[in-house]
């Protein structure tokens, strides 16, 4: 395996970890409207991710940085090609990022409401448009010989990209509810489970539609039939695991299942892309990993750096989660956060 | 920057300037705040003087507000290289990506994880252990500055690379040389010390407003904060000026045009070189008039000795044409925007000197033996208004650094015009400029408003409040 392929896999891994972690952050943000019934519950829900959301989002920043550092031609084409969509993702992330602090400081009901809505909007916009970008990209878009992407409106907005965006939002919501079941006690915990009992059947329907559209609209199943099939089945299987956890009230299983299902979506896309990073409608203009990559010297340095730093990050990251394990009860304590 | 038409390059440049300047209001402020709050908490952990705990908590709130806005405006930057400057990303990917990725892995994770722990564990750890969390956050912010400045220093003064013959792009040959770039180790101390000064001035200024409220129970708190802020302002204003002087020596060597422009010199000076205090610049005809000069001072600034002339922009322009014409063509304009640089330099250094003066006077009025600062309302108002000075000074400093690199994005290798995304359209850039402008107005306004409100409530507001309410992550909630 070449270093550039290794970095393609590493970028995929970083995105997968990002979706696993920030996925439930997004879901928690959505739950402020879909699950909570009053401000007290909304604030309690928000506070479940208070210490974690920033660290979780750093995985996206790292994935972006790693893309720039190892496969810059991909980074350049993707980010410039989907300019408006990335702008919308950024607007969502900005609103969401400030909402925690600003909500804490707001003193009027209107102010609190405003930032709680910003938190909700900032939790639903990024997963929708990120998934939309990824699923538009894998269908193949117009590109020039220099590697610039010029997706037309219907290359970006089409059935698969919209279904993909909705599926990303739905999976995040389900994942977020599973996280809430782990972190909150009282009626909210039960309601989150009940809501997931309704959402999971819808999710399964969505996953089937998604799989059919991926089969029809991309070359994943013609290029790599077996691996694509297996990964698609894994997405469903992990979702079933999550559903099992909902039915049997096993919260840990639910959380692991929905998180892994989200990660598997990235695995499916990266598996289908390989050995390309951008798929052009004219195959001659597609960008291959080897053409997108940096020099072996740079990649060697990056590999050494990653081998040293990623394990250290993982250790204190997990430790930071172990500090906040006590369940939050929105009714017993007036949540100040 | 003003008077540009709606071309793709100028819109992309405007957006980059707007987003980085706004981001850079909060970056030095957060770096400095994190550091000073860490010192406050450490003093508390060592001396067990409760006022320092109150200070760490109160100024910690301001730090968190600034940090939040700093983070969200920082994400824009990482995406922006790919979105608006894709040709730059392709050209520079082999060099630029590595510091950026290391910044994320080494710095962003430390600061984001430890700030999350620090926020919610006031009652769970011993003071020394809790102070460790803010120190980690603070170290994270400083590491982040090193790596992004490493990338920027390469753009000012490329080292450790070659141009790949087949692709025409930069290829890294010596990573050690990128990290050891002399520009980096001259600019980093200057930036970091200016960051400490920024936070110190804000602490002193907000404390002055606090003292004006004349609340008896808050007097000791704001007085201690004021003295702390004033001492830090004075020390770091002097230190950042010293570091800036060292940086100047480097700039004369690497980017003579930038230096000549900050001093408004068109023709070579006499020997020893006089320093121009003010002058009228005619950027069109490349000449200056109405100079007020101090003899010999520029030689001291430039070479630390009483002799030596300084090259003017006209000479440097000719030299640059001779050096680069066969690669970039005869039509290049190598003059950097002289008015922007000349006045930015005077604003930056003037503000630094003003901060020293104000801090010194404030310290004299509030000295232990004869503490009369409350009687001098005007002094408190001056201190309160000084809050804004370092932010203007920081922006002026970045103007010099970034405009002074014109017309290159990577000095001597790649021009700004070459770097912009070929996919950009005027419509999409106009759209993003408007969106960012509206967002920043909102964020900046709200952030200042909440800082003001926090000050209005004073340091003992939350404690009275928390008698009825329990924080979800407080000790009670965890049952420890």
Q: Per the CB < 8 Å rule, is A84 touching B424?
A: no
If contacts are CB pairs under 8 Å, which of residues 126-165 in chain A contact chain B? Answer: 146-150
Q: pLDDT digits over B248-264, tens only?
A: 999 998 999 999 999 99
Q: Which of B288, B266, B275 is nearest to B346 (CA)?
A: B275
Q: Per the CB < 8 Å rule, is A324 touching B473?
A: yes
Interface predicted TM-score (ipTM): 0.93
Contact residues on chain B for A105, CB-CB shorter than 8 A: 65, 450, 453-454
The mean per-residue pLDDT over the stretch A203-217 comes to: 95
What sign does the dihedral B107-B112-B113-B118 (CA atoms) show? positive
Q: Per the CB < 8 Å rule, is A51 touching B119?
A: yes
Tally Cβ neighbours within 10 Å of residue B322. Answer: 9
Asked whether residue B471 is domain-assigned, the answer is no
Give the CA distances from residue B170 to residues B97, B154, B155, B454, in Å, rounded to whole numbers and listed in that order.
12, 11, 11, 49
Query: Between A and B, how many residue pairs show a Cβ–Cβ distance under 8 A?
Result: 244
If contacts are CB pairs under 8 Å, which of residues 66-105 in chain B contact chain A? Answer: 68-69, 71-73, 75-76, 78-79, 81-84, 86-87, 89-90, 92-98, 100-105
pLDDT band at residue B480 using 50, 70 and 90 as cut-offs: very low
Q: Distance (Å, rounded) from C-alpha B476 to C-alpha B121?
A: 12
Asked whether residue B475 is domain-assigned, the answer is no
Asked whether residue B297 is domain-assigned, the answer is no
Contact residues on chain B for A66, CB-CB shorter than 8 A: 97, 101, 104
Give the CA distances from residue A337 to residues A217, B54, B148, in Å, rounded to whole numbers and listed in that order.
46, 19, 33
Contact residues on chain A for B119, CB-CB shorter than 8 A: 50-51
Q: How far is CA B79 from the centre of its chain?
A: 20
Q: Per the CB < 8 Å rule, is B75 touching A298?
A: no
Cβ of residue B424 closer than 8 Å to a chain A Cβ: yes
Residues near B311 by Cβ (< 8 Å), separated by ≥ 6?
A: B256, B260, B265, B268
Contact residues on chain B for A7, CB-CB shorter than 8 A: none
What sign does the dihedral A102-A105-A111-A116 (CA atoms) show? positive
Q: Is the pLDDT of residue A303 over 80?
A: yes
* Largest pairwise CA distance in chain A: 63
Number of domains, chain B: 1
Domains of chain A: 3-314 (1.20.1630)
Tally Cβ neighbours within 10 Å of residue B163. Answer: 11
Four-CA torsion B355, B361, B362, B367, nearest 10 degrees: 140
> In this predicted structure, which of A151-165, B38-52, B286-300 has the lowest mean pLDDT?
B286-300
Asked whether residue B63 is domain-assigned, the answer is yes
Contact residues on chain A for B68, CB-CB shorter than 8 A: 97-98, 100-102
Asked whether residue B324 is domain-assigned, the answer is no
Domain boundaries, position B244: 8-253+340-461
Asked whether residue B319 is domain-assigned, the answer is no
CB-CB contact of A255 with A245 (8 Å) = yes
Asked whether residue B39 is domain-assigned, the answer is yes
Q: For residue A2, give the DSSP letter.
A: -
Four-CA torsion B196, B200, B202, B204, nearest 10 degrees: 180
If contacts are CB pairs under 8 Å, which of residues 67-106 in chain A contact chain B? Answer: 67-70, 72-73, 75-81, 83-84, 86-87, 90-91, 93-94, 97-98, 100-102, 105
pLDDT band at residue A186 using 50, 70 and 90 as cut-offs: confident
Q: pLDDT digits over B381-436, tens only?
A: 999 999 999 999 999 999 999 999 989 999 999 999 999 999 999 999 999 999 99
Give me the residues paired with residue B163 across strands.
Answer: B170
Which residue in the set B121, B171, B470 is minimally distant from A334, CB to CB?
A: B470
If contacts are CB pairs under 8 Å, which of residues 282-321 in chain A contact chain B? Answer: 294-295, 297-298, 301-302, 305-306, 309-310, 313, 316-317, 320
Q: pLDDT digits over B32-62, tens only?
A: 999 999 999 999 999 999 999 999 999 999 9
- pTM here is 0.93
Q: Is the pLDDT of residue B465 over 80?
A: no
Asked whether residue B447 is domain-assigned, the answer is yes
Long-range contacts of A5-10 (CB under 8 A, 24+ apart): A5/A275, A5/A289, A6/A299, A6/A303, A7/A66, A7/A70, A7/A71, A7/A293, A7/A299, A7/A302, A7/A303, A8/A70, A8/A71, A8/A270, A8/A274, A8/A277, A8/A289, A9/A270, A10/A66, A10/A70, A10/A306
Q: pLDDT digits over B149-185, tens only?
A: 999 999 999 999 999 988 899 999 999 999 999 999 9
Q: pLDDT digits over A97-138, tens only?
A: 999 999 999 999 999 999 999 999 999 999 999 999 999 999
If contacts are CB pairs under 8 Å, which of residues 124-153 in chain B contact chain A? Answer: 124
pLDDT (0 to 100) of residue A334: 44
pLDDT (0 to 100) of residue B468: 41
């Amino acid at each position: 395996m070449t270093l550039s392929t290794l970095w393609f896999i590493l970028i995929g891994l970083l995105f997968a970890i990002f979706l696993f972690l920030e996925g439930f952050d997004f879901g928690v943000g959505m739950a402020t409207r879909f699950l909570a019934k009053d401000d007290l519950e909304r604030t309690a829900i928000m506070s479940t991710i208070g210490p974690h959301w920033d660290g979780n989002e750093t995985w996206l920043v790292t994935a972006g940085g790693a893309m720039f550092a190892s496969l810059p031609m991909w980074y350049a084409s993707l980010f410039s090609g989907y300019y408006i969509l990335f702008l919308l993702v950024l607007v969502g992330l900005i609103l969401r990022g400030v909402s925690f602090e600003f909500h804490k400081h707001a003193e009027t009901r209107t102010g609190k409401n405003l930032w709680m809505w910003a938190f909700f909007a900032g939790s639903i916009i990024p997963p929708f448009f990120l998934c939309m970008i990824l699923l538009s990209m894998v269908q193949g878009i117009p590109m020039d010989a220099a590697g610039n992407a010029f997706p037309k409106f219907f290359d970006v907005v089409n059935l698969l990209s919209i279904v993909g965006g909705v599926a990303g939002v739905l999976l995040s919501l389900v994942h977020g509810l599973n996280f809430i079941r782990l972190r909150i006690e009282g009626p909210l915990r039960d309601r989150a489970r009940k809501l997931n009992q309704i959402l999971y059947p819808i999710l399964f329907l969505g996953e089937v539609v998604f799989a059919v559209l991926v089969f029809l609209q991309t070359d994943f199943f013609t290029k790599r039939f077996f691996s694509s099939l297996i990964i698609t089945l894994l997405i469903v299987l992990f979702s079933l695991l999550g559903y099992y956890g909902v039915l049997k009230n096993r919260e840990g299983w639910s959380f692991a299942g929905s998180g892994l299902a989200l990660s598997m979506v990235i695995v499916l896309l990266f598996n289908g892309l390989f050995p390309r990073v951008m798929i052009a409608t004219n195959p001659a203009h597609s960008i291959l990993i080897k053409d997108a990559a940096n020099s072996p010297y740079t990649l060697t340095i990056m590999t050494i750096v990653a081998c040293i730093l990623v394990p250290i990050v993982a250790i204190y990251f997990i430790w930071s989660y172990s500090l906040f394990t006590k369940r939050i009860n929105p009714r017993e304590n007036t949540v100040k956060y | 920057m003003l008077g540009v038409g709606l071309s793709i390059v100028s819109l992309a440049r405007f957006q980059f300037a707007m987003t980085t300047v706004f981001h850079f209001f909060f970056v030095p402020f957060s770096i400095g705040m994190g550091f000073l709050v860490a010192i406050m908490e450490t003093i508390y952990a060592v001396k067990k003087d409760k006022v320092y705990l109150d200070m760490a908590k109160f100024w910690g709130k301001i730090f968190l507000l600034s940090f939040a806005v700093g983070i969200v405006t920082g994400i824009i930057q990482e995406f922006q290289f790919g979105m608006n400057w894709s040709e730059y990303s392709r050209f520079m990917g082999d060099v630029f990506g590595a510091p950026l990725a290391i910044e994320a892995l080494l710095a962003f994770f430390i600061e984001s994880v430890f700030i999350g722990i620090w926020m919610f564990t006031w009652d769970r750890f011993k003071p020394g252990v809790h102070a460790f969390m803010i120190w980690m956050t603070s170290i994270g912010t400083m590491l982040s500055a090193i790596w992004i400045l490493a990338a920027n220093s390469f753009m000012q003064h490329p080292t450790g690379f070659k141009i790949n013959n087949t692709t025409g792009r930069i290829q890294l040959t010596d990573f050690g040389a990128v990290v050891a770039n002399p520009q980096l180790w001259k600019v980093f101390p200057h930036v970091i010390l200016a960051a400490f000064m920024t936070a110190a001035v804000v602490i002193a200024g907000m404390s002055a407003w606090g003292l004006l409220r004349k609340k008896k129970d808050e007097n000791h708190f704001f007085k201690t904060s004021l003295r702390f802020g004033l001492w830090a302002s004075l020390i770091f204003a002097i230190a950042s000026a010293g570091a800036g002087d060292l940086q100047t020596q480097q700039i004369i060597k690497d980017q003579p045009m930038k230096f000549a422009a900050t001093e408004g010199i068109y023709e070579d000076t006499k020997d020893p070189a006089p320093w121009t205090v003010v002058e009228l610049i005619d950027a069109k005809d490349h000449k200056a008039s109405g100079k007020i000069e101090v003899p010999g001072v520029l030689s001291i600034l430039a070479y630390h000795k009483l002799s030596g002339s300084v090259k003017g922009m006209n000479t440097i322009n000719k030299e640059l044409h001779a050096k680069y014409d066969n690669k970039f063509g005869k039509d290049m304009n190598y003059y950097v925007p002289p008015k922007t640089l000349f006045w930015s330099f005077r604003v930056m250094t003037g503000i630094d000197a003003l901060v020293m003066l104000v801090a010194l006077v404030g310290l004299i009025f509030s000295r232990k033996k004869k503490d009369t600062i409350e009687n001098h309302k005007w002094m408190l108002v001056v201190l309160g208004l000084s809050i804004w000075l370092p932010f203007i000074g920081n922006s002026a400093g970045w103007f010099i650094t970034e405009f002074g690199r014109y017309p290159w994005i990577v000095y001597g290798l790649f021009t700004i015009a070459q770097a912009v995304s070929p996919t950009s359209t005027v419509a999409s850039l106009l759209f993003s400029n408007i969106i960012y402008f509206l967002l920043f107005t909102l964020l900046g306004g709200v952030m200042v408003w909440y800082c003001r409100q926090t000050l209005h409530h004073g340091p003992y507001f939350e404690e009275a409040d928390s008698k009825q309410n329990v924080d979800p992550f407080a000790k009670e909630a965890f049952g420890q």
